[in-house]
Amino acid sequence: MKLKKEDRRRAEKLAAVHARLLEAFGEPQWHEYLPAVDELVCTILSQNTNDINRDKAFRELKETYRSWEEVRDADPKELQEVIRIAGLAAQKGPNIQSALQAISEQRGEISLDWLREKSVDEARDWLVSLKGVGPKTAAIVLVFALDMPAFPVDTHIYRVSGRIGLRPPKLNVEKTHQYLEMIGEPTTFKDLHLNIISLGRSYCQARKPKCQHCPVLELCDFTEKVLE
């Protein structure tokens, strides 16, 4: 796809940000590379909670049930108790079981490897058709478990990409996934996703950004920089 002039400018800036963040943070490490179904469940558990509680809930889930079929068929209240530490168990439990049931009905087994045969858009569309799975969760499964070129956008990435000028200012979260995929180099998506989150947590914070120490300060379009 041929990019427009403004898109090319943002693509160049995204590449420069990628290089600068690698210098600042190094090559980031994903928490653990999991099979796609495991990653889907883990990411559902991660919604609106921290990494520590996500990991505790996922570990408890795997220790309690011997297979995803057992999770699918478990007593809903029991499952919710098992994953309670992740929060919102009354939502996450049914969403996990609904997703596992949908996968079973689609393929006759609980596996998502068949999505590798689809285009990114087809695979994404199928994943977001699952209850409780939005564009970010789908993109995480695609890029980190299926090695497909998707760019997950969370609140940090949406905020930071807007401030730096990596996307059109009024672009919504859902379309930002697709925009960054359009202008970015797919081989950088994993590192960029993790390093932009680190930037958002460490420097480009929502209320009081630490702009004076930011490793991409010279590349940033933010008009309300905090430099003291």
**Model pLDDT for residues 40-92, shown as the tens digit of each residue:** 999 999 999 999 999 999 999 999 999 999 999 999 999 999 999 999 999 99
pLDDT for 227: 86
What does the pLDDT average to over 124-129? 97
In this model, does residue 37 exceed pLDDT 80? yes
Contacts of 228 (CB under 8 A, 6+ apart): 212
pLDDT for 139: 97
Task: Say how far apart CA 20 and CA 209 lie, in whole Å.
Answer: 18
Q: Where in the chain is the domain with CATH 1.10.340.30?
A: 36-145
Q: Report the Cα–Cα distance between both ends of the chain, in Å, rounded.
A: 42
- At residue 179 the predicted structure's pLDDT band, cuts being 50, 70 and 90, is very high
Q: Could you name the CATH architecture of 36-145?
A: Orthogonal Bundle (1.10)
Q: Where in the chain is the domain with CATH 1.10.1670.10?
A: 5-29+152-219
Q: What is the pLDDT of residues 152-173, one digit of tens each?
A: 999 999 999 999 999 999 999 9
Q: What is the pLDDT of residues 2-28, one digit of tens each?
A: 789 999 999 999 999 999 999 999 999
CB–CB of 161/185 below 8 Å? no
Q: Show which residues are catalytic.
A: 136
Chain position carrying tokens 């960054």: 180
Q: What is the pLDDT of residues 89-102, one digit of tens each?
A: 999 999 999 999 99
- At residue 206 the predicted structure's pLDDT band, cuts being 50, 70 and 90, is very high
The percent of residues in the chain predicted with pLDDT above 70, rounded, is 100
Buried b or exposed e, range 95-120, using 16+ CB within 10 angstroms? bbbebbebbbeeeeebebeebeeeeb
pLDDT for 42: 97
Helical segments of the chain, H only: 5-25, 36-46, 51-64, 68-72, 76-82, 89-107, 120-128, 135-140, 155-164, 173-183, 189-202
Domain 5-29+152-219 annotated CATH 1.10.1670.10: yes
Helices 51-64 and 36-46: angle between axes, nearest 10 degrees: 130
Closest CA relative to residue 146, chosen from 185, 175, 120: 120
In this model, does residue 228 exceed pLDDT 90? no
CB–CB of 150/122 below 8 Å? no
In this model, does residue 109 exceed pLDDT 80? yes
